[in-house]
Structure 1
Amino acid sequence: MADTLYLGLADVALLARVRRAPVTMWRRRYASTATPFPQPVATRGAQQLFDGDEVVTWLETTGRGNNPAAREDLAGFAVLADTDLDDPVIFAGLTALLCLSRYTDGLSTVHDDLLDEADEADPDDEFLTAELEALGERLVPLARYCSLRIDAAYHAGAAFEGLMARRRRRARDGYTRTALSAPAVRLVAALVNAIGTDAGINAPLIVDPTGGGGDLLVELARDEGRTVSVALPPGDAPERRLTRRRLRVRGIDYRTLEIDGDGGVVVPEDGVVVLQLPGADDPDAEAAELLQTAEEVLLGNPADRRMVIVGRASTLTEGLPRSARRVRDDIVRTHRLRGIARLPAGLAPFEPRARVALWCVGPAPTMAPGGVPPRTMVVNLSDTELDDIVTADLVTDLVAGMQDVRGQRAHLPRFGRLVGSVELITRLGGLVDAVPTPQRTEPAVEVLARISELRAELAERLAPAAMPGVVARSAPPGTRHTLDDALRSGMLRLLPGHRLDRDLFDAEASVRVLGPPELLGTSPPRSVDRLLLAARHEVARFTEPGDVVFCTAPRPAAVVDVEGGAVVVHPARVLRSKSSELPPRVVAAAISAQPADARAWGSWTVGSIPADQADSLRVVLDELDSHRAALKRRLDAVDTLASTLTDGTASGILDLSQHD
Structure 2
Amino acid sequence: MHTLTLQDVADLAKVRRAVVSMWRKRPMVRGVSMPFPDPVETVDGVARFARADVVDWLARTGRGNNPEHIDDAPALSVPESVALEDVVTLLCWHVLTGEDLAGTSLTERIHGADEFDPDDEFLATEIRELRAADAVLSYVDDLVEATLGARDALARLESGRLKRVMGLRDLTAEATELLRCIIEAAAVHLGQDQVVLGVDGSAVALDVAEACGLEITSEDRPLRRRAVIRGISVREYPGQKRVSAVSLVGLDPAAALDRADEIVVGLRAGDVAILLGPAAALSDELAGTLQNRRARTLRVENLVVAMRLPRGLWREAHRQSLAVWVCIGGARAQQPWVADLAAIDQIELTDLAADVAGALAQSEKRAFRYSRRIGLSTVLARGPVVPRGVRAMRLGGGDAATHVDRVHHATLVTTAPLTPLDVLVEPSQTNLQLQRRSLGELHAHNHLVVKRGRRINPADASPDGTVRVMPTERFGAIALDPFDAELKYPRATRTEPGDVIFVEKPRPRAWVDPAGGAMVASPARILRLRESAEVGPTLLATVINETTTPGSEWPMWSVPVMSRDEVRRLETALLAVEEYEREALRRATAARDLKTALIDGVAAGALTLDAQPTTPGVAVAIDTRTRKGR
TM-score range, shorter chain: 0.5 to 0.7
Correspondences of 1:288-327 after superposition (within 5 Å): 288-327=254-293
Task: Report the Cα distance in structure 1 between the residues aligned to 2:185 and 2:377, rounded to whole angstroms.
Answer: 28
Relative to structure 1, is the Cα distance of residues 171 and 333 closer, same or farther in structure 2, using a 3 angstrom cutoff? same
| Residue 75 of structure 1: aligned partner | 74
| Residue 422 of structure 1: aligned partner | 377
Q: Is the 8 A contact 1:317 1:431 kept in 2?
A: yes
Q: Is the 8 A contact 1:56 1:70 kept in 2?
A: yes
Check if 1:143 corresponds to 2:103: no
> Which of the numbers 208, 218, 228 marks the counterpart of 1:232?
218
> Which of the numbers 8, 18, 21 marks the counterpart of 2:18?
21
* Cα deviation code 1:461-504 (max 9, x no counterpart): xxxx98664569xxxxxxxxxxxxxxxxxxxxxxxxxxxxxxxx
Check if 1:193 corresponds to 2:196: no
> Which of the numbers 256, 277, 281 marks the counterpart of 2:236?
256
Deviation at 1:650, TM superposition (A): 4.5
SS for the counterpart of 2:315 is coil
| Residue 162 of structure 1: aligned partner | 156
Check if 1:110 corresponds to 2:68: no
Q: Is the 8 A contact 2:195 2:240 kept in 1?
A: no
Correspondences of 1:273-292 after superposition (within 5 Å): 273-278=244-249, 283-284=250-251, 286-292=252-258
Task: Report the Cα distance in structure 2 between the residues aligned to 1:641 and 1:94, rounded to whole angstroms.
Answer: 64
SS for the counterpart of 1:48 is strand
Check if 1:206 corresponds to 2:200: no
Task: Report the Cα distance in structure 1 between the residues aligned to 2:193 and 2:329, rounded to whole angstroms.
Answer: 18
Deviation at 1:385, TM superposition (A): 4.9
Deviation at 1:249, TM superposition (A): 0.4
Which structure 1 segments of 5+ residues have no match?
234-239, 258-266, 367-372, 456-464, 473-558, 563-616, 623-633, 656-660
* Cα deviation code 1:128-160 (max 9, x no counterpart): 34444444251x321211121112221011111
Relative to structure 1, is the Cα distance of residues 56 and 436 closer, same or farther in structure 2, using a 3 angstrom cutoff? same
Q: Which amino acid aligns with 2:205?
A: L
Deviation at 1:181, TM superposition (A): 1.9
> Which of the numbers 393, 402, 406 marks the counterpart of 2:351?
393
SS for the counterpart of 1:202 is helix
* Cα deviation code 1:37-71 (max 9, x no counterpart): 11111111121111122111111111111111110
Q: Which amino acid aligns with 1:255?
A: R
Task: Report the Cα distance in structure 1 between the residues aligned to 2:184 and 2:599, rounded to whole angstroms.
Answer: 38
Equivalent pairs counted in the alignment come to 440
Q: Is the 8 A contact 1:382 1:437 kept in 2?
A: no
Q: Is the 8 A contact 2:36 2:57 kept in 1?
A: yes
Check if 1:341 corresponds to 2:307: yes
Task: Report the Cα distance in structure 1 between the residues aligned to 2:192 and 2:268, rounded to whole angstroms.
Answer: 16
Task: Report the Cα distance in structure 1 between the residues aligned to 2:392 and 2:439, rounded to whole angstroms.
Answer: 47
Q: Is the 8 A contact 1:307 1:362 kept in 2?
A: yes
Q: Which amino acid aligns with 1:401?
A: A
Relative to structure 1, is the Cα distance of residues 163 and 385 closer, same or farther in structure 2, using a 3 angstrom cutoff? farther
* Cα deviation code 1:421-480 (max 9, x no counterpart): 112222x3311116535799xx989x99xx9xxx9xxxxxxxxx98664569xxxxxxxx
Task: Report the Cα distance in structure 1 between the residues aligned to 2:176 and 2:291, rounded to whole angstroms.
Answer: 27
> Which of the numbers 338, 342, 357 marks the counterpart of 1:378?
338
Relative to structure 1, is the Cα distance of residues 76 and 422 closer, same or farther in structure 2, using a 3 angstrom cutoff? same
* Cα deviation code 1:330-353 (max 9, x no counterpart): 232222211110111111111223
Task: Report the Cα distance in structure 2 between the residues aligned to 1:213 and 1:53, rounded to whole angstroms.
Answer: 37
Task: Report the Cα distance in structure 1 between the residues aligned to 2:177 and 2:117, rounded to whole angstroms.
Answer: 31
| Residue 476 of structure 2: aligned partner | none
SS for the counterpart of 1:255 is coil
Deviation at 1:10, TM superposition (A): 1.6
Relative to structure 1, is the Cα distance of residues 169 and 144 closer, same or farther in structure 2, using a 3 angstrom cutoff? closer
| Residue 184 of structure 1: aligned partner | 175
Check if 1:223 corresponds to 2:223: no
Which structure 2 segments of 5+ residues have no match?
414-437, 446-503, 508-551, 558-581, 608-630
Q: Which amino acid aligns with 2:233?
A: D
| Residue 515 of structure 1: aligned partner | none
Task: Report the Cα distance in structure 2 between the residues aligned to 1:198 and 1:145, rounded to whole angstroms.
Answer: 45
- Give the TM-score normalised by the residue count of structure 1: 0.59
SS for the counterpart of 1:411 is coil
Relative to structure 1, is the Cα distance of residues 199 and 8 closer, same or farther in structure 2, using a 3 angstrom cutoff? same
Q: Which amino acid aligns with 1:335?
A: E
Q: Is the 8 A contact 1:101 1:107 kept in 2?
A: yes
Check if 1:328 corresponds to 2:294: yes
Relative to structure 1, is the Cα distance of residues 142 and 651 closer, same or farther in structure 2, using a 3 angstrom cutoff? same
| Residue 242 of structure 2: aligned partner | 271
SS for the counterpart of 1:254 is coil
SS for the counterpart of 2:275 is strand
Q: Which amino acid aligns with 2:319?
A: R
Relative to structure 1, is the Cα distance of residues 28 and 434 closer, same or farther in structure 2, using a 3 angstrom cutoff? closer
Q: Is the 8 A contact 2:122 2:224 kept in 1?
A: yes
Deviation at 1:377, TM superposition (A): 0.5
Q: Which amino acid aligns with 1:422?
A: S
Check if 1:410 corresponds to 2:365: yes
SS for the counterpart of 1:54 is helix
* Cα deviation code 1:503-534 (max 9, x no counterpart): xxxxxxxxxxxxxxxxxxxxxxxxxxxxxxxx
Relative to structure 1, is the Cα distance of residues 170 and 108 closer, same or farther in structure 2, using a 3 angstrom cutoff? closer
Q: Which amino acid aligns with 2:171?
A: L
SS for the counterpart of 1:107 is coil
Q: Which amino acid aligns with 2:379?
A: L
* Cα deviation code 1:371-405 (max 9, x no counterpart): xx841101111233565x2x22222112212234x
Q: Which is further off, 100-109 or 146-155?
A: 100-109
Question: How many percent of aligned residue pairs carry the same amino acid?
Answer: 27
Task: Report the Cα distance in structure 2 between the residues aligned to 1:14 and 1:351, rounded to whole angstroms.
Answer: 23
Task: Report the Cα distance in structure 2 between the residues aligned to 1:245 and 1:106, rounded to whole angstroms.
Answer: 17
Q: Which amino acid aligns with 1:248?
A: V
User: Considering only aligned residues, what root-mean-square deviation do their CA atoms show, in Å?
Assistant: 4.1
Relative to structure 1, is the Cα distance of residues 129 and 110 closer, same or farther in structure 2, using a 3 angstrom cutoff? farther
Deviation at 1:75, TM superposition (A): 2.1
Q: Which amino acid aligns with 1:157?
A: R
| Residue 548 of structure 2: aligned partner | none
